[in-house]
Structures are given as structure tokens and as C-alpha cells.
Structure 1
Amino acid sequence: MAAPTSSQPAVAARAASRVLPRGVGGGFCAFPESAPASLRFSVSRRRTARLEVKASANVFGNYFQVATYGESHGGGVGCVISGCPPRIPLTEADMQVELDRRRPGQSRITTPRKETDTCKILSGTHEGMTTGTPIHVFVPNTDQRGGDYSEMAKAYRPSHADATYDFKYGVRAVQGGGRSSARETIGRVAAGALAKKILKLKSGVEILAFVSKVHQVVLPEDAVDYETVTMEQIESNIVRCPDPEYAEKMIAAIDKVRVKGDSIGGVVTCIARNVPRGIGSPVFDKLEAELAKAMLSLPASKGFEIGSGFAGTDYTGSEHNDEFYMDEAGNVRTKTNRSGGVQGGISNGEIIYFKVAFKPTATIGRKQNTVSREHQDVELLARGRHDPCVVPRAVPMVESMAALVLMDQLMAHIAQCEMFPLNLALQEPVGSASSVPAFAPDLS
């Protein structure tokens, strides 16, 4: 069989489906004839095939689209936002508040890299209002130390993207991890700030995230009331846990590994209040599926659960089902919220809540066994500045991705379901969700 070419997309697709080589994921790239044999793969025992498919995976969303760009030690990072409605009040200060929550060097338990992460809106606004055209946001990198990565140019960091980027592309930006660095999330957080603002203006949606676990320190489920927890409580300490007692325990756990040059992981819990009913889609584009994809696209994320999650498997149906009732205002509500605010892939008006698990930071200041690009066994002691625990800085990232999902899904809902008059007996305008009271989940 001849090697697939760009004029034979169907053949290329069939060939690719026969084997899943290392490096396949996200967008695909073509392997030139000059590529090393180790970077090519065989789709039969006789021939070596080349995939020639569109490389993408840098754009998120369908209606409210965000394309991020830039690398950790390049000239800067940023995003281009397409599909934003016109006449939305927007200044750089709106985005800077969220970027300041994400930036490095905030405290002793984060990376010591010093970046102001000052954003500049280059297009898409006029006199403080969005124009409906693409919004370009740029943030320069100012504290690069490329020399810290000389060893990592030759050896792969265990559990990092160094090896898989080489398997896939055959070349990578060594300094800071390139696109795999958490600095890529600057564009997401900037766009998320805008999405948060629109959601609040349109439907009164409020999105909050907080740290609920660091290593073996676990915040009890009943320690936080999802209905009343505030941003002020979350931001009252450097670990972003709304419970002061558990916050101190989490900080102590991070300090313990930090001084040893090691790292630990944890969990971020996110809640979305006042989300209108009807947001999301059945089958393939379920709201929880879109949220899962968004969260698992974040650096270091390894797990996602919504509502009762895996704990729900311990219940019977009669115990787990959220029974309906009519509240005093005549709204259909649920007595419990084990569904996490989503049923059948569509929001039901209750609080949406989910958890995201983050692994320990891969780059650590301790010697580890690995291999070099020349396939030699080596010992690596990584240098550079890295978070001993990514979880505190992941909080605004999780909020931003949740906002981008809900904003995109809200626009999809309006486009499909609000072109004609509503069935007032069942539906509500997307701007009226604030009339539905929120409450904390009952997982008892």
C-alpha cells in the first residue's frame, strides 16, 4: 500500500486508525522524509506512512472562541478572543485583577519567578467598550532565565511533556517547557475574566474556586457552604482555602516538601451559582463533558468529577436521585444536588459544582533517573524556578475555564433556543436565573 498523501485524506485516516503511535494526540503533523526513523511509525509491516493532517488544538470554544499563543521564555504570551458581543464594558484593569491572582511570585509556596504579567489590549475595544471584533491581549515575559534549562535540553524530565513533544514534533522549546508551561494559561485567564464579566452582567452567574485538598490534607465536604462562600474568604490566605484551620495545614504540607526540593499535588473545587436552566446539550456536547475537557486541558490536571462523582457509585438509585419539588416562587427545584447542577448534559438551575485533581509539579530540585535524547541512561537534577504545589495558582485557571465553557454554551443556547418565543410553562429567559435561589449540595 502506498504511503498516504494530502490528496488521499480518507486513506490517511484509515491508516492512522490502525495504530496509535506515541506522540498522537491533539493536532497531527506531517513527518518529512528526513525525519529520524525513531519519529516515524509504521502502519504496516512493509511501509512507513506519514500523517498529513491539519495541526491545531490552540483554539477553545465554538461561539466564544479563545486562541492562546506564546511560550514560557519567548517574547510574551497572550490570546485572541473572537465572538465577543459588542458594547461590553472592558478595560485592561478588568483582566489584570484575574491575572494578578494567577501570576508567579505571590508567596513562598509558589514559584519565585518574578513577573508582573501586565496585560495590554491591542485590539477589539474602543473607549472602554468591546466592538464585536477580535480582542487581542498581550502579556510580555520579563524574567526569563534560559540558562536554567541547559540540562533539560539533553535529558527528559520524568512525567513532563519534554519526551512526548519530541516524540510528536521532533523539536521543542526547551526553556520553561515552551507551550507546556503554565504561562500558556495567561491567555485563558485574561479571556476568562471577560467571560466572567459577561456572565455576571447577563445572568448573574458567579464562579468561584478554592483549594479543597493538598496532598493528604483534605477539607471536609461540610466545611464550605456553596451558597454563601465568598471570594474574600478564599483569598484570605496564600493557599486559597476558605477554611483558616485547614489552610494552615495545607501551607505546612507545601512548606515541608518545598525545603526538600520536592512537590505535591491537590484538588481544586469549583462552583458556579445562578447558572440558567437549559445550558448545555445532549449526547456528545453535554455540559459536564465540555467542563471536563476544559479542566483536563489545564497543565498538570489529571482528574475530574462533577456532583457526587465517584462517590455516587456507593449509593442506590433511591438514595442518589435528586427529588423534584416546587419552591415558594413556583420554580421546579431539587431537594438534593448530587447531580452537580447538570442532568442529561443540561443545567437544571441548581449550583454546578465539580472537582479537578492536579498532580505534583513534574520539575523538582532532586536527582531523578531518566534518559537523554540520545537514548542514554542519565541522572537529572533540574534547575529553574517551579511551584512546589501548583494548586493555589490553579484556582483562577479553573475559574477561567469554567467561565469560558459557560459563556460558549450560553451563546449556543441563545442561538438555538431563543429565536422564537419561549414556552413560559417550562422555560425561562437566560437572564432570569438570579431569581432561582442557590443552595449547597446535600451529599449525606
Structure 2
Amino acid sequence: MGGETPGTSRRQLLGLVGAGAIGLAAGGVGGAVATAAARPDAHATGRPGAGAVPFRGTHQAGIVTPAQDRLHFAAFSMNPGATRSDLVALLKDWTAAAERLTRGEEVGDGMEPDNALLPPDDTGEATGLGPGNLTITFGFGRSLFVGRQGGDQQGGEQPSPDPDPFGLRSRLPREFEPLPSFAFDLLDDTQSGGDLCVQACADDPQIAVHAIRNLSRIAAGRAHLAWSQLGFGRTASTSRAQDTPRNLFGFKDGTANVMAEDTAGLAEHIWVGDEAPAWLRGGSYLVARKIQMTIETWDRSSLGEQERIFGRTKREGAPLTGHGEFDAPDFAAALPGSGEPVIDVAAHVRLAHPAQNRGRRMLRRGYNYVDGSNGLGQLGAGLFFISFQRSPDTFVRVQRSLQPDLLNEYIRHIGSGLWAVPGGIGPGEYVGQALFE
């Protein structure tokens, strides 16, 4: 299937554009030779290098894959009037293109059409760069099943008149409820939600952006780009072979992440099981949150205050009750004399810890971002938080626990989304095929 040309040909694309269809693009360098073994779960192990990550497998790549350094995340909305057949055709075309992209190949007929009067199938900016460990992960929004209801639409889009636009309502998982409103949310509808999401991660930004750019072009006439986000500098490790990275506040992030090597933890906390419809088993739920950081205010805070807020030391990342990064925090430890807890009752590490959340765990896969600066010379910077969990309720539980978090003084949640990520794609299948059969 990887050698198939996406179903919208160049002539069809020209016809769509002539008829006023939407064609959107983005802009956007990396790897070399394929090295990963072509076994179903090959993307679950190994360090990122200059190779190719298998697109097909038991689970979608880009979840437990060792986190790459660059991200381009995109949310798409289906066009008004798009049908179930349009959606299926789009997913087939995206699958064929994604398989080629993750091998470092050009999409369709490549960047040089036989007729120079026609636009190329591939935009060409990643040609010669190799696979770059590119992974492309697809997710389905709740609006695919129930339409865009009041408050669900983004960017000024109108609610869907049809509560079951693609004939999928009966296959909606019971757990797939919208995220509730959380304290301190300042969400921007133009950076939230979406019928479909695509997470492209790579060792190089141009490879990741090239992937989203070409998938956007392929979607023309059926779906359009609603919003997207570039990320750099991963903020979590997904393999024990990786060092723990730092966020833009300078602290190590994601120390207690569920790792690729923890198969029991993945089965319990990340992969959806028999509680869900068959099409989602072996998949997960993806939560994305755009979290703006008030960098300038943070930079004027004392080291002692910063460490009190996180409950960890800044250099080593150790809990304030320990010496090493991976030491278990002792939440019962008290300061001599005062009896006050060593780790503040509102410290981030305490409130986010599984011990405070009935053992709930998630796999974090976030990235730093900088969107420029404003007229006051303040950076538009922060964390593009991504997590995978077996049920959305895990994220809801943890986020509600963070309501008194001392860190809330320095952050603002400005974007949000939730998508169901289908299980892996087998030989000859397209992404989410079981949902439509």
C-alpha cells in the first residue's frame, strides 16, 4: 500500500481548486538510512537516530517511540457537506502518503510531474533528507461521531446540523466524553479541538513540517487545516535510554513518565482494552494542551521559590526529600522545628504524583514552543503538552488535582483537544479501518 499514489490526482486537485475548494499548506531537515527492524513493535524500542520508524504495527508509532526532538501537530476539520465516503477516502490517502513519508520517500509521483504545467504531488523541501525518524500518529475527534455541537466548534465554525454526520455515532466509546472546563482555563477556540489530529514528530523540523504540509494538500476538498503548532526540545522521555529533558522553566520534566520498556505499565495505563469498541483496542486517548508560560515573571523568582513550586531541585531534578532525580518523594517528611512539609502541600510534584491520583499514570510526550513575542517584548512561549492515556478520565483526574498547584501563577492553558487514537495499522489496512467495517 505504501507505493500507492494518494487518490486525489493532480488533475482532480486542479479541478477542486478551480471550483473553490480549500487547499492549505504549511512550511518547514533531517535523517538518512532506514535502520529500525521491520517487526510489528519495532517502534517501541531503540534510540532515535537517522533511520526510519515502521509505520505499521500493533500500535501506532509516535506514542512509545523514543521521543524525537521536533514536532508539528495539526488539527483538521472536515469540510461542510463532506460524506462518510469522503472521510474514508481521505484516511486511505493519508495512510498511503504517511507510509511513504516515514520511509523518507516523496509522496505520490514526487516533486517532478511528467507534465511541468501540473503542480507536483510532493512539495519537495524534504527531498534528500532521509526519514529522520519521522512518525505520524492519527487521532479522531468526538465531533466525527456526534457532529460539532454547541461549544464544540472551533474558529467560528457553525455547529453541525447533523448529529451523526458520518454514521459513526453508534461506535462512540462510552469513555469518550468532552474534557470539562478546568480552573484557570483561558482557551482560544482557534487553537482547540478538531475532527482529526495528526502528530508528526521527527529529528528535524523540516521533515515534520513537510509531512503536515503534504497531508494538508492531500486533504483538499474534503478537510482543511483548523490549527497547528510547532514544537522543539521534547519535554519528556518515552524510553529509559533517553535523558530527562528540561522545560522552558529550566526544570526536568516527565521524570515519572510511563516508559516504552514498561510493558505492564503500558497495558494498564496507556493502551485501551476490552472496555472499548474493537476499533479502538490497542489504541489510546491523546490530550493536547497549549500552556503559555509567563516567562518574564518566572525569571524574576528566586531559586528557592522555583524549587518550592516544583518540589524538586533545579539542577538535579531530585525531589526536595532526596538526592537523585529518580528518588521517590517523601511527602510525609517535615522540616525540623516548624513541622512544615519539606515538599509543599501545593507543590507540582506532589499534586501530579500517582499517589495523589489513585495510581493514575499517563505517557507524556510534550514539547517546548516559542511563537514569537508581543509589543512589550514578552515571549509567547510555553509547553505544548501531549499525553496518552487509556481513558480521558485519567487526565481529568490529574488536572483537577492540580487546581491548587503553585505553578498556576505562572501558566495559562490557552488551547485544548482530545482525540481517540485507533490501534496499529496492519498490512494492507488504512488508519481506523475497523471503525468503518
TM-score (norm 1): 0.24
TM-score (norm 2): 0.24
Instruction: Identify which of structures 1 and 2 has the higher relative contact order when contacts are C-alpha pairs closer than 8 Å and 6+ apart.
Output: 2
